[in-house]
């Protein structure tokens, strides 16, 4: 279990201009270590611009692994688990119990998540999707809040890679601790152990990445 973070950015907020800036800084950060030439695999949609700028800086191959949060019925942001394009799933049982989400609601939210993934699979170029086996990979997202999306991504990525490294610009300490137990190392510039944590608070400019913007960055796929 390894969590590699930058002490200069520990517990700080608004340390990246935007996701592109975060990807460049992430590339420079991982370059300090023995990173070799790993593939860079993005988790859409917010992870794509980060992974794009990171892959471009490292001259690495860019690919996509579709994983999506299973959202609470009353929000478009917070989730109680995640689902991947390969059917891998993780549920936050504590959150389910705390909010009293019944089995019917869970099945419905999983169905909606599956539909969202299927829609994206239709528009993302096939050459961008994770498909070939390799030795080592960076799994990249724009941040880790609960960590469940990345947990599912790791499970799916193990189908293809021998060593899994997670690289994110920012993460809560709770999520980092959870994820680091499941991967070979976690690279995170802005680690925060504060009581209240939001991924967006690491960025000066923050917006939801829509499909059009995502596809623009995926033109980099070789």
- pLDDT tens across 83-99, in order? 999 999 999 888 888 88
In the chain, how many domains are there?
2
What are the percentages of helix, strand and coil residues in the chain, rounded to 5?
40, 25, 35
Shared domain check, 37 and 97:
no
Shared domain check, 176 and 117:
no
Cross-strand bridge partners of residue 89: 83
Residue 207: what pLDDT? Answer: 94
Shared domain check, 116 and 135:
no
- Tokens 């799916």 label which residue? 156
Shared domain check, 173 and 144:
yes
> Contact at 8 Å (CB) between 72 and 79?
yes
Q: Classify residue 65 by burial, with Cβ atoms within 10 Å: 0-12, 13-18, 19+.
A: buried
**What residue numbers bound the domain in which 178 lies?**
3-67+126-220
Shared domain check, 136 and 214:
yes
Q: Classify residue 36 by burial, with Cβ atoms within 10 Å: 0-12, 13-18, 19+.
A: exposed
Domain stop point among 82, 101, 122? 122
Shared domain check, 62 and 164:
yes
Shared domain check, 23 and 61:
yes
Q: Which residues of the chain have pLDDT under 50?
A: none
Residue 35: what pLDDT? Answer: 65
Shared domain check, 75 and 28:
no
Shared domain check, 194 and 90:
no
What whole-number distance in Å separates Cα of residue 205 and Cα of residue 201?
A: 9
């Amino acid at each position: 279990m390894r969590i590699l973070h930058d002490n200069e950015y520990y517990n700080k907020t608004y340390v990246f201009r935007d996701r592109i800036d975060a990807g460049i800084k992430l590339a420079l950060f991982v370059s300090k270590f023995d990173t070799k030439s790993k593939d860079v695999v993005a988790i859409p949609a917010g992870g794509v611009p980060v992974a794009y700028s990171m892959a471009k800086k490292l001259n690495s191959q860019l690919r996509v692994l579709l994983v999506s949060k299973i959202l609470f019925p009353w929000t478009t942001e917070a989730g109680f688990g995640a689902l991947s394009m390969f059917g891998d799933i993780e549920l936050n049982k504590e959150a389910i119990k705390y909010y009293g989400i019944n089995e019917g609601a869970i099945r419905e939210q999983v169905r909606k998540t599956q539909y969202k993934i299927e829609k994206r699979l239709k528009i993302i170029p096939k050459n961008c999707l994770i498909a070939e086996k390799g030795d080592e990979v960076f799994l990249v997202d724009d941040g880790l809040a609960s960590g469940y999306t990345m947990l599912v991504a790791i499970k799916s990525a193990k189908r293809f890679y021998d060593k899994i490294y997670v690289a994110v610009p920012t993460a809560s300490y709770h999520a980092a601790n959870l994820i680091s137990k499941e991967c070979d190392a976690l690279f995170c510039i802005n680690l925060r152990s504060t009581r209240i944590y939001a991924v967006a608070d690491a960025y000066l400019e923050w917006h939801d990445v829509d499909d059009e913007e995502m596809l623009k960055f995926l033109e980099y796929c070789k």
